Amino acid sequence: MFHPCYFTMFFLKYSFCKCCPFYYESHNYFTDVSFSKMLVNIQICSNIFPSRNCKSVCFKELDGEAHSLKVEKILYQGKSPYQEVLVFESSTYGNVLVLDGIVQLTDKDECAYQEMVTHLALCSIPSPKNVLVVGGGDGGVLREIAKHDSVESIDICEIDQLVIDVCKDFFPRLYVGYKDPRVKLHVGDAVEFLRNSPEGKYDAIIVDSSDPIGPAQELVEKPFFQTIARALKPGGVLSNLAESMWLHTHLIQDMLSICREVFKGGVRYAWASVPTYPSGVIGFLLCAKEGPPVDFLTPVNPIEKIEGATKDGREMRFYNSEIHKAAFILPTFVKRELEAYNSSTEKERPEKPTAKPVKMKVMRDSAITAS
């Protein structure tokens, strides 16, 4: 979904030959096997285009801005009941996972997202024991949770088995998270899973879901967060993706407002740099259920003091206690907009944009279906 443009095979052949006359003169492009395979790959994934000099192929995301990655090789392409799945090898970021035409993660910068969404929550509470991952089918969040030796059980609910299988084959550094004996996989709708979970079961819930547009709009509305709060223990915490402060301030404002009604233990917005996400940043919403006080700004369970958490191949690549503290320091314009929103009445607030926030997906695995 959200494909900005579609190319037919004829147009692609014409375009290549138009800009590459040397290729046209020396090749029969209808029979050349390697060229035909490349065209087929390009046709199937409508985000892949020839570069300006026609010496390479690039993957692009478009909607007012574009980010391109040079494609070295298509590794996998298929379709599940939920989404189209593509994996390609890029020249600069390693293997890249694409769902419905949108970049989800890359080998090079996945650490920033996986480590921050996990440890901002788990390092803010002492000795987390029971943790739930909503989505996160690639396994990266599982890998990070497993670094906490206090954790006794890790549930993960992912709706798309194909995402899990593909990551097993092409992202072993992420899939290693599934190999921890504390992990229990549930393939299905995470909304329903949460509704059926015992009240107060989890110390932490980490939500890794799709964009809050269309049917998934329910996932940023009050009933969903109330379901999350019900499943948390008193003083339990939620880590939820919260969009880009450069592109989606109105969504962040709404999410903060809703979560402050539901989570009386405190709500904070944090952010991190992820180069292959739109605008180069991603946000996180950290929420605490009423109970033992939680101070997200200072890690009470610092990762550096957890035995074995940073040794034997488990070293952090992005997160540390200093970055934890810095993640909550917001640029002046963001603070100003959020403060103005908080102090205004509903009538005074500007009308929300009717268009989709951005066609380029900021969230990651489509792990939840609204119901």
- Strand 48-50 to 202-208 pairing: unpaired
CA 206 to chain centre: 11
Strand partners, 158: 187
CA separation for the pair 369, 233 (Å, rounded):
24
Buried/exposed code over 194-228 (b: 16+ C-beta within 10 A; e: otherwise): beebeebbbbbbbbbbbbbbeebebbbeeebbebb
Active site residue 208: yes
Give the active site residue among 208, 211, 254, 365. 208
Q: Specify the 3-state DSSP secondary structure of 89.
A: strand
Q: Is 128 in contact with 122 (CB distance < 8 Å)?
A: yes
Query: Quick count: other Cβ atoms within 10 Å of Cβ 254?
Result: 17
Q: In which residue are the tokens 């921050």 written?
A: 116
Q: Is 131 exposed, middle or buried (0-12, 13-18, 19+ CB in 10 A)?
A: buried
Query: Quick count: other Cβ atoms within 10 Å of Cβ 52?
Result: 9
CA separation for the pair 288, 125 (Å, rounded):
10
Q: What is the DSSP letter of 350?
A: P
List phi, psi (to 5°) of 155: -95, 140
Q: Is 118 in contact with 132 (CB distance < 8 Å)?
A: no
Residues with catalytic function:
208
